[in-house]
Structure 1
Amino acid sequence: MLQCREEVLFLTKQLVNVESIVNTEGEKVMAEAVYTIVSSMPYFKGNPHLVRKQQTVDDERERYNVIALVKGTKSPSNKTVVLMGHMDTVGTDDFNHLKEKACDPLELMQALQEEKLPTSVESHLQSGEYLFGRGVLDMKSGVASHLYLLNYYSNHPEELSGNLVVVIECDEEDSSHGILSALKELQLLRDEHKLDYVAAINADFVSPRYEGDNNRYIYKGTVGKLLPSFYITGAETHVGSCFEGLDPNYIAASLTKQINYNTELCNEAFGETTVPPVSLKQTDLKPTYTVQTALSAYVYYNFFVHSWSPKDVLEKLRTQAEIAFDSALNEFKQNYLSYSKASNQPYVDVPWKPRVLLYDEMDRLLIDTHGDSYVTHMLAYKEELLLDQELDTRMFAAKVVEEAWKWMPDKSPAIILFYSSLYSPRIEVTGKNEKEVNLLHALDAAVEKYQPQYQHPIVTRNFFPYISDMSFVALSDDEEELKSVADNNPGWGTKHYVNYEDIRAINVPVINIGPYGFDAHKQYERMELSYSLEIVPNLTNEVIQRLLV
């Protein structure tokens, strides 16, 4: 068993001390710090060409990945295991008055001694078995574990058959520019050094699935994540004559009631079930206050998948949108009729009917109707939108749909369904090919070896339940399923683009062996020391050893 606790702890603290909030200059500072750590290892001083600081591509920000390769000498082989992890974190505003201490675990923990804390947090703080701070769990202790193994094998290449590539990437917490850029470097390394990527091991955090859950989870594959979005148009009216128009916020509310927490939209596969969708934004698009109802509204939802394709999700949500629209109109008619009776005013039949279109359907309709004039206008409009670098992909997409809607011949109320952000593909690792079989066998053997040395159960599951860069090293979707993502994202090819063929070119089975703790993305983020600093590196090492034989 590797005696790695103190060294991994030292590296963790070293990494946490560097604030590396996503989409800030801290990401560059963090990459430089990681590059310095790696390039100062004796192996890389002698082989500087085997460590690279790679700037991300097609990125509005300047930031970098660090990628390193160690070649084993025990029995030279082209078999290669990829270790991956992200160096960026979420922000620190949630730490409130302790924000300045968020990236200094020792100072933070000392300050927390003076705070009134939830019982479980207080217990962990006093136990001496947890480290607190932004990034300790998500996921700098996981990165530290990988750096430890990189350093170990750079000092002992004679113990390594085959090769080890370590990818420490930026921008995992937002748009995954880091891993998507790293794919190109992985292809270059593969071709240059004749590598055969046999598996990837991520080190993102794991947590209890429910209160009282003492299992430490290892995940085979990962959940997929989509951001289905809805542009909703109504019929504008003065609020004093509210039944003469249709408020799009009313339809949006019905849509959210229909979709939010709807367990019919949970995706079960291999006995595991995703959480239902939840709204992440709901707003109208009225720029200022007026006494007119809004012309349009915009809402989007988080949507996890295990086996459904992006195309499946669009069809399921089209049905849900039709139900929500029909429900809103029926309730509108009932309220209108009731008001008419109460006010002794005539009831006029409501002219609207439920209408739901995919963005691709609307776009093709407008091309057929207006031809090149529409196409040229929309290209110019997107180029103009790109000048506003503060506009994120989600609002960019909404504005494109809003502009396209102006060209619609029939402007009666409608819901336009589209994707407005990155699709993180689902990955299944089930033993469907030799590489998956070998990885699963290696993982089972590693757990069997180290379970007796740890008091809590180490349990494997099929899908990592959070968004992660694991999604971008393999594909379970075919080309037609991915085409529905491109065709129905209004920002595709301008504000947003993913070359899924880069993923297919790597296409390596991936598992997650990561640090254990609580409250990632929250003010009491903390990591359990024994499992994270001792068991995780040794489990990872055992898998590496069993794969590279």
Structure 2
Amino acid sequence: MISTKNEVLRFTDELVRVESIVDTTGEIAIADKLYELISALPYFQVNPNQLIKARTVDDEFERYNVLAFVEGTKDITNNKTLILMGHMDTVGIDDYTHLKDVSCSPSELMEKLKGEPLPSLVKDQLLSGEWYFGRGVLDMKSGVASNLSLLKYYAEHPEELSGNLVFFAECDEEVSSKGVLSGLKNLKKWKQDYGFDYIGLINSDFVAPLYEGDENRYIYKGTVGKLLPSFFITGAETHVGSAFEGLDPNYIAAELTRQISYNPDLCDSFLGETPAPPVSLKQMDLKPTYTVQTALSAYVYFNFFIHSWSPKDVLNKLSEQAEIAFENALTTLNERYEKFNKITNQPSTKLPWRTRVLIYEDMTKELEEEHGEKFIKHMEDFKSKLLQDSTLDTRMFAARVVEEEWNWMKDKSPAIILFYSSLYSPCLALTGKDEREDNLAEALEKAVEAIQPEYVHPIVTKNFFPFICDMSCVALNNDEEAIRAVMDNNPGWGTKHYVNYQDIRDINVPAINIGPYGYDGHKKYERIEIRYSTEVVPKITNEVIRQLIG
């Protein structure tokens, strides 16, 4: 028996008890804990160079990844290498309210929850003794614990490996993926130093029911991609007493949100699966204080999942949607203006506004051609000063850059400007494009077939992990044009935001996700089903290991 329920549960408990909220010093503490656990293993006392705690690069926070590897001795000429990956950070604990002090102490938390009014399902699972509660227990420290247990086993039995097994625990998955993007450099160095041939990666992020009554336990052969398309909307200010003499950008923003949010036409169906539609994550105007003047500008951005579309495709599709929204807004505005004039017995004329949608890179090129070096230098200085404001995240930084560039436009008639303002997470899928993908898919299929008879609920494979995860940062199928669309249309690119996509290309490893099962990730009743998460997950993962490098 390679891993037992007790061992994985013990590791899970030890990791959960280290409060490791993203963007806090807890990320240092959890890395220290993992490093301590691994360095205590006899294998790593003999081979200390095969364990590292590596600080992230280009990061405003001090935090670390932990990486280790076991070299198999079954066939020392075999450089095939499999990576087990999982993240150590968690979201915050404020949602636990009066239970915050025990949110990272599973046994204490579960005891106190017994005295709380709970939803019936939560209560039943709590009292069954078959579920384990706590912040990070599902997302995703039990997954890291499973990987740790497998690393420990093979550190004790390297003779059972005819390749190499890498353990990679990364920080900052919940916000900016600085952990995995930094860790790529370590993986690349090991590839160069030890000749590793990365043939596959198994991520261990959590899985959950997809609908009420869903009894399936899912394994994913890839992951959804994500973009953050953003819209800077300019209007024409006016006194509220003369409302129709201006154009309120909030009005345009509202119509844009109505057009895009929850729109199934913007779902990228691929390989028989469809991601959730886009939805607004922020809608605001940029008016700093209260006045009776309408706002000058508004800002909206949307979560946008992709399965096959490129960043360029999304820009084109959303440019069309923005034009539809702008036109619809103007049509309704003119109808209301006409109705208002009839009520007030005033002469009616058509309002002067026209539909105007710009893509950021086109606007910037126009400004550079028109103003030359003066504009370029001004924007370099502006971004440099803006970087000194630590309160601005990448999204607001991008908005401020667009706002400043807009000031240079000669034609300041109302417009929607489309751009990206955050990390692009590429989509991944096993489509059989090379032997590594075929081998990983086949190994997974055999692993599920071997373990399914031991477990009562169906274990079902799907193509796309439906939530954002760091698998997006280990392989890249996009060509240069697609990546250029991200770079040229992110106003913070190269200053506030940067990703070395070449690091991803240099690793470019096919990936799957075999993770713990539970409910309420990111919520106060976060919990795992103990048997599946601590017994079935390690067994399936180990079957894949044996198929590929056993």
What interval of TM-score do these two structures reach, taking the shorter chain for normalisation? Answer: over 0.9
Distance (Å, rounded) in 1 between the aligned partners of 2:3 and 2:491? 52
Letter in 2 for 1:166: F
Matches for 1:87-486 after TM superposition, within 5 Å: 87-486=88-487
1:477 CA drift (Å): 1.1
Query: How far did 1:38 drift?
Result: 1.1
1:289-312 per-position Cα deviation (integer Å, ceiling 9, x unaligned):
111000000000000000111110
Contact residue 428 and residue 476 of structure 1 kept, 8 A: no
CA distance in 2 between partners of 1:340 and 1:277 (Å) = 37
CA RMSD of superposed structures (Å): 0.8
TM-score normalised over the length of structure 1: 0.99
Could you tell me how far apart the structure 2 residues matched to 1:168 and 1:227 are?
A: 26
Distance in 2 (alpha carbons) for counterparts of 1:288 and 1:3: 59
Residue 19 of structure 2 is matched in structure 1 by 19
Which residue identity lines up with residue 54 of structure 1 in the other structure? A
Alignment of 1:52-91 (within 5 A): 52-76=52-76, 77-91=78-92
Distance 1:3 1:151, change over 3 A: closer
One-letter code aligned to 1:38: I
Alpha-carbon contact 1:223-1:425 (below 8 Å) kept: yes
- Please say if residues 233 and 252 of structure 2, whose CA atoms lie closer than 8 Å, have aligned partners that are also in contact: yes
Deviation string for 1:289-337 (max 9, x for gaps)? 1110000000000000001111101111001100000011111111111
Give, in angstroms, the shift of residue 348 of structure 1: 3.6
- By how many angstroms is 1:390 displaced? 2.1
C-alpha deviation, 1:3, in angstroms? 4.4
Gaps of 5+ in 2: none
Return the offset for 1:42.
1.0
Return the alpha-carbon distance in structure 1 between the equivalents of residues 96 and 348 of structure 2.
Answer: 56
8 A contact 1:322–1:356 mirrored in 2: yes
Q: What is the aligned residue count? A: 549
Distance (Å, rounded) in 2 between the aligned partners of 1:456 and 1:432: 31
What is aligned with 2:524? 523
**Rounded Cα–Cα distance in structure 2 between residues aligned with 1:538 and 1:333:** 65
Q: Which amino acid aligns with 1:341?
A: K
Structure 1 residue runs of 4 or more that deviate by more than 3 Å after TM superposition:
none
Q: Give the Cα separation in 2 of the matches to 1:461 and 1:141.
A: 21
- Which SS does the other structure have where 1:440 is aligned? helix
Q: Would you say the 8 A contact 2:3–2:153 is kept in 1?
A: no
Quote the Cα distance in structure 1 between the aligned partners of 2:275 and 2:470.
18
User: Aligned-pair distance for 1:346?
Assistant: 2.7
CA shift for structure 1 position 48: 0.9
Q: Secondary structure at the match of 1:273?
A: coil
Q: Which moved more, 1:411-420 or 1:157-166?
A: 157-166
* Whole-angstrom distance in 1 between the partners of 2:3 and 2:330: 66
Distance 1:542 1:245 in 2: 66
Match of 2:30 in 1: 30
SS of residue in 1 equivalent to 2:299: strand
**AA at the equivalent of 1:28:** I
Q: Percent identity of the aligned residues? A: 64
CA distance in 2, matches of 1:241, 1:111: 59
Do the aligned partners of 1:228 and 1:419 also contact (CA within 8 Å) in 2? Answer: yes
Deviations 1:413-453 (A, max 9, x none): 00000000000000121221100111011101100000000
CA deviation profile, 1:3-47 (whole Å, cap 9, x unmatched): 411000000000000111111111111111111111111111111
Q: Does the 8 Å CA contact 1:225/1:304 hold for their aligned counterparts?
A: yes
Q: Deviations over 1:216-249 (max 9, x none)?
A: 0000011000000000000000001110000000
SS in 1 for 2:221: strand
Shift of 1:101: 1.1
Q: Which runs of 5+ in 1 are unaligned?
A: none
8 Å contact from structure 2 (residues 260, 321) kept in 1: yes
CA distance in 2, matches of 1:57, 1:50: 20
